[in-house]
Amino acid sequence: MIAMQKLHEFDPSTSFLAWMSRIVRYVSLNEGRRRARRRAAPLHAAHAPAAANPGPPGEADAALERAVAELDETARACLLLRIVAGLSYKHIAATLEIPEGTAMSHVHRSRHALRARLSPGASPEDQA
């Protein structure tokens, strides 16, 4: 809906995918901020040792969501655009207005950080 409302702002000489990705990114960031404001739990609860070894599947999803939320905003955007949206590094770079190599680095480091935080033997230091 937002894209339809802003369609008059689209410059046909630019990439439609990059323009649409930027809208999706900002809507996603705004939604994340809205949810963060609604949370009743304090932020330090996300660092609980239970997140490293979740029980039922719902807890695993919650642990993953907390770990992704702890990533830097740009790193999180790069990771989600790559994994969820399936964008190429070139399109991620254009969308976020960063160098392509930087987008690659953010995705790599984000994946590494998530593995460290969510692995069964993760220490509390890995989760911080």
Q: Which of helix, strand or coil describes residue 98?
A: coil
Name residues whose C-beta falls within 8 Å of residue 50's C-beta, 6 or more positions apart in sequence: 59
pLDDT at 51: 44
Task: Give per-residue pLDDT as tens, 76-126.
Answer: 889 888 888 888 899 888 888 889 999 999 999 999 998 888 887 655 454
What single-letter amino acid sits at 59?
A: E
pLDDT at 55: 54
Find out whether 126 and 117 touch, Cβ atoms under 8 Å: yes
Task: Give per-residue pLDDT as tens, 6-57.
Answer: 888 888 898 888 888 888 888 888 877 777 766 644 544 444 444 444 455 5
